[in-house]
Structure 1
């Protein structure tokens, strides 16, 4: 039986790391304990184990999902900017990718590096500004792969693609469709091409249960951020789901869902979902010497969340 079964967390047990962060959407943890988070004041902020902070890189539009390469550089998606940036450890930055087949990337959401140093990229929509795709329920999100052959699209026609990650064996690539709020998975062939998508896990995390970021643990469970419910849950290998914690506003979620269905949703409706204690958590990362310290980013909080998990996380490529 999984050590996570039955695990719940009182909101009062959640602690905070960092200060003055602006839209710290994604978190990367280094083996030595240094944290990196995307930060709209630049590209990313480094938080040392002793609490010292430094924001690096020029200001880019909505720095979002990130990955770290083996040299310790960050690969960062600029969602509103439609580009992939490489942020070197000394603060230098460069545009790594801004088009595929001569066409703009669109709203780039997330980057993931696998054990073969291949870069997987999720694009929420080809539309910029990206909110128009949320209003119109547009299904033009896609997943791209960058390897020794260059950049190419490997899955298309997705609904507001969010984070993408490979499992421990790298047999499947998992991808979030933010709306309606479900997880898909694709078999991964040796050449990087993908099989047909299949849904994995529940149809819904509850009303307004839009999925955002996720991470695997060492048992193969998937920890998922429910951004509008201000929560976190776990999808088990058998597809069942359990809530770990949440801070929802039911009436606001009801109203937002209606507006989503009739095409009148506005960015303010997302902001109104922010809870009294937690505000729009988006991502999760495992760190610490035993990989059991969890860190979560958000769209609205000036700090990161942190708590202890009953299981270790799956090490990412830069940790191995």
Structure 2
């Protein structure tokens, strides 16, 4: 097995393919983030945040600009109707791309105050949109527009498009970042990247029990990334968590109980990932200036 793979638990070995190699499928970006798979178009979309554009890679190997300017989009997912849901640093909002290509702002304020800069997002099976709102997009002019926070906090929110209601589901994070549900949606995982603002800040993933489908129980630390931080992540069909490692360069994999299973090394700081391809068995990883892909022996969770 390649030196790029570190096996901490034998269960990880069964998740890898002995004859599959890591491929660099695109490069030339400033900070690649927010990958999302669009199956009906056989393509991957992602954000190149500092360059204010969204990129597209298709299975025939072509790479082009999908949207520019893109209002400094970061994380993306899809709703239950297949529409693209995006977190916009520049717009300080969560938006939706309609079937005709037009963009609708879904939510940009909480109790009359502008959001900071929505970062990552997941859509629950009931259609509600759960997203994180740290201040990275207003921290400087590199990934958005520098500004003071009107809310004065970095929260995790639940938005109901049907009613327009927006509520805080977690308010005790320093910099909430990646977000994903367990396959049965009984748990919500959220990364805290507070160490980007202070060296001894949090660099872990917390997990919450989902109560009545709409509220969260107290969060507990699920896993920590040594020498790096958990940014974006996804779960596979078995509930294992595949997390980017930030400055630890690569992807760390954890069992549902938090046991470290293994790590995939990449040559660059790694921001996010998504499972894609016709069988959801191709792992696409965004890492600073490039996008990498790896076929694996598991499938991604159907919940996007």
The TM-score range, normalised by the shorter chain, is 0.7 to 0.9
> Separation in 1 of the partners of 2:217 and 2:53?
34
TM-score by length of 2: 0.80
Instruction: Give the alignment partner of residue 164 of structure 1, picking from 169, 179, 188.
Output: 179
> Separation in 2 of the partners of 1:219 and 1:241?
15
Q: Structure 1 regions of 5+ residues with no counterpart?
A: 132-138, 248-277
> Separation in 2 of the partners of 1:215 and 1:72?
18
| Aligned-pair CA distance for 1:20 | 4.3
| 1:131-150 deviation per Cα after TM superposition (whole angstroms, max 9, x unaligned) | 9xxxxxxx932111111341
> Separation in 1 of the partners of 2:10 and 2:123?
27
Worse-superposed segment, 65-74 or 95-104: 65-74
Instruction: Give the alignment partner of residue 36 of structure 2, picking from 9, 28, 36.
Output: 28
Q: Which contiguous aligned blocks of 4+ residues in structure 1 show a shift greater than 4 angstroms?
A: 5-10, 19-22
In structure 2, the partner of 1:146 is: 159
SS at match of 1:196: coil
SS at match of 1:25: strand
In structure 2, the partner of 1:108 is: 118
Asked whether the 8 Å contact 1:284–1:297 carries over to 2, the reply is yes
SS at match of 1:66: strand
Matched, 1:315 2:302: yes
Worse-superposed segment, 214-223 or 38-47: 38-47
Aligned residue pair count: 275
| 1:14-45 deviation per Cα after TM superposition (whole angstroms, max 9, x unaligned) | 10223544532011113343211123455522
In structure 1, the partner of 2:281 is: 292
The 5-angstrom pairing of residues 1-320 of structure 1 reads: 3-5=11-13, 13-32=21-40, 33-40=42-49, 41-88=51-98, 90-125=100-135, 128-129=138-139, 140-147=153-160, 148-149=162-163, 150-179=165-194, 180-201=202-223, 204-207=224-227, 209-246=228-265, 278-298=267-287, 300-301=288-289, 303-317=290-304
| Aligned-pair CA distance for 1:2 | 7.3
The structure with the largest strand share of the pair is: 2
In structure 2, the partner of 1:271 is: none
Worse-superposed segment, 192-201 or 221-230: 192-201
TM-score by length of 1: 0.76
Asked whether the 8 Å contact 1:26–1:296 carries over to 2, the reply is no
Q: Structure 2 regions of 5+ residues with no counterpart?
A: 1-8, 142-151, 195-201
